[in-house]
């Protein structure tokens, strides 16, 4: 992209998804960092008149700080492609595939990456009886940030799914063990973080200050760290991701390398004060402003 002073950046934030509040926090932080780096920045709330807002703003490049449906599922990427505006992170196809958990798991498995068994089932069937043997996890097939998660343990009754949940949900064998994550920036993995919580890594643990502790780099054997980096890179490439992505793992230490499985890949990792990818970038000597600037310089159409 052009030099900072002559480059106008539109930061997309907010939007309509269940992760609107997270996106507003990510967007505000990214906008402030880019202004500090010398860019001409405007902030745009991605509501239904988004194309008109973009036309009025006439940016040189778009920083996509949206999370959840319509922001990281290929929809807004398609609008930006149609408008011919260079943008950050992954393109239409990679975004759509990553947001579809069932499809992305099929792609990972075809690439030889370890995933756990899962099925898609109607919520009425899930509430009526166990559709797979407990323990298992029930979650939307196309949401992030641990929105709408049910964990069913041995001996539990079938979960009574809330009315506002989608009609079809993913039911996934519960993966025990430690919570690990690896970000990929361009063509390199940034290392491994272990996430420590008192319970499980739910929405509050992710975004409430003090809700979780992050160990960077994770205190794990070298072969497990190497495998996380290798798997994250391979997952990023298998989906055709661009820019920044983050792959989440569970690792059952009692099983060694066989206990490491991919949970999912996020093409729009959080950029809030408690987020993991900026923390991993910092551990590699890259400030938050440097990370945002890298993403702007990497932006393009046809992603």
Catalytic, 19? Answer: yes
Catalytic, 248? Answer: yes
Residue in 136, 203, 207, 231 annotated catalytic: 207
Cβ contacts of 79 within 8 Å, gap of 6 or more: 50, 51, 54
Residue in 246, 259, 277, 298 annotated catalytic: 246
Catalytic, 71? Answer: no
11 touches 27 (CB < 8 A): yes
Burial class (CB in 10 A: 0-12, 13-18, 19+), 44: buried
Residue in 261, 190, 200, 266 with CA at minimum distance from that of residue 231: 261
Burial class (CB in 10 A: 0-12, 13-18, 19+), 199: exposed
235: enclosing H helix or E strand: helix 222-239
Catalytic, 201? Answer: no
Residue in 26, 142, 145, 275 annotated catalytic: 145
Residue in 14, 15, 17, 19 annotated catalytic: 19
Q: How far is CA 257 from the centre of its chain?
A: 24
Number of residues in the chain: 303
For helices 75-83 and 92-99, the axis angle rounded to 10 degrees is 170
Residue in 179, 248, 279, 298 annotated catalytic: 248
Provide the terminal-to-terminal Cα distance of the chain, rounded to the nearest Å: 15
Catalytic, 81? Answer: no
For helices 222-239 and 101-110, the axis angle rounded to 10 degrees is 110
280: enclosing H helix or E strand: helix 276-283
Catalytic, 145? Answer: yes
Residue in 74, 203, 270, 303 annotated catalytic: 270
Catalytic residue IDs: 19, 145, 207, 246, 248, 264, 266, 270
């Amino acid at each position: 992209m052009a030099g900072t002073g002559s480059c106008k950046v539109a930061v997309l934030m907010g939007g309509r998804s269940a992760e609107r509040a997270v996106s507003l926090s990510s967007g505000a932080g990214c906008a402030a960092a880019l202004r500090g780096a010398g860019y001409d920045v405007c902030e745009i709330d991605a509501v239904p008149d988004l194309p008109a807002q973009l036309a009025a703003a006439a940016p040189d490049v778009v920083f996509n700080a949206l999370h959840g449906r319509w922001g990281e599922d290929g929809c807004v990427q398609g609008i930006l492609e149609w408008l011919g505006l260079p943008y950050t992170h992954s393109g239409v196809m990679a975004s759509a595939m990553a947001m579809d958990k069932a499809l992305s798991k099929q792609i990972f498995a075809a690439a030889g990456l370890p995933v756990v068994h899962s099925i898609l089932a109607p919520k009425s069937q899930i509430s009526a009886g166990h559709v797979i043997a407990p323990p298992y996890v029930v979650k939307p097939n196309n949401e992030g940030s641990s929105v709408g998660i049910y964990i069913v343990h041995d001996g539990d009754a079938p979960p009574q799914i809330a009315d506002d949940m989608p009609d079809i949900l993913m039911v996934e064998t519960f993966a025990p063990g430690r919570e690990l994550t690896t970000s990929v920036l361009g063509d390199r993995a940034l290392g491994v973080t272990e996430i420590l919580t008192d319970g499980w890594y739910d929405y509050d643990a992710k975004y409430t200050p003090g809700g979780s502790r992050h160990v960077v780099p994770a205190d794990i054997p070298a072969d497990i760290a190497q495998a996380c980096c290798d798997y994250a890179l391979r997952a990023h490439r298998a989906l055709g991701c661009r820019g920044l992505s983050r792959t989440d793992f569970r690792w059952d230490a009692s099983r060694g390398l066989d206990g490491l499985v991919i949970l999912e890949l996020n093409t729009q990792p959080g950029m809030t004060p408690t987020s993991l990818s900026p923390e991993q970038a910092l551990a590699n000597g890259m400030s938050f402003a440097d990370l945002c600037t890298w993403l702007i310089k990497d932006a393009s159409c046809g992603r």
